[in-house]
């Protein structure tokens, strides 16, 4: 799990491999720091963004605009409000396509705990790993 401002940490984690990103969507507006992070992630080769939380649909709409502006029509955006459903999606759908997932720290609710329940993250870590 990384903070939105830790671009260098993310870059070293995903260097040269396909990856997806899970973004918290607890509030509707797309913050400037999140917008900057999304642009960095696109440049690093992110192929999917999974928005998790109450405002997932609004965040996905904002991401779609950024992805289109960047000319990255190959990038998938997904909106899932429920943490358990999102964890299952990340583990079983996204996990089949990539070995690296960046979980951006924020108001993801119980999403990391759901990943632990599914066995994607060791229980001892509590979901606070740099990647899954």
The string of pLDDT tens digits covering residues 77-90 is 999 998 888 888 88
CA distances (Å), 78 to each of 4, 8, 24, 129, in order?
19, 25, 12, 22
**pLDDT value for 123:** 43
**pLDDT value for 72:** 93
The yes or no reply on domain 7-125 and CATH 3.90.190 is: yes
The domains of the chain are located at: 7-125
- Token match 């759908």: residue? 93
Q: What angle do CA 64, 60, 109 make, to 5 degrees?
A: 155
- With cut-offs at 50, 70 and 90, classify the pLDDT of residue 124: very low
**pLDDT value for 65:** 93
Tokens of residue 32, six digits:
């400037």
The string of pLDDT tens digits covering residues 57-112 is 999 999 999 999 999 999 999 999 988 888 888 888 776 556 677 767 654 444 55
CA dist 103 and 56 (Å) reads 15
CA distances (Å), 16 to each of 19, 88, 100, 131, in order?
9, 25, 11, 15
Eight-state DSSP code of residue 97: T
The string of pLDDT tens digits covering residues 4-43 is 556 666 676 677 777 888 888 876 566 677 788 888 889 8
**pTM, two decimal places:** 0.73
**pLDDT value for 71:** 94
């Amino acid at each position: 799990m990384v903070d939105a401002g830790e671009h260098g940490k993310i870059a070293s984690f995903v260097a040269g491999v396909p990856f997806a990103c899970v973004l918290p969507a607890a509030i509707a507006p797309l913050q400037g720091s999140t917008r900057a992070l999304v642009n960095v992630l696109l440049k690093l080769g992110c192929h999917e963004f999974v928005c998790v939380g109450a405002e997932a649909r609004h965040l996905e709409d904002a991401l779609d605009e950024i992805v289109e502006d960047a000319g990255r029509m190959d990038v998938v955006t997904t909106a899932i409000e429920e943490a358990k459903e999102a964890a299952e999606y990340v583990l079983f759908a996204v996990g089949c396509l990539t070995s690296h997932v960046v979980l951006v720290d924020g108001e993801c609710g119980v999403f990391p705990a759901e990943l632990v329940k599914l066995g994607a993250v060791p229980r001892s870590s509590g979901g606070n790993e740099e990647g899954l």
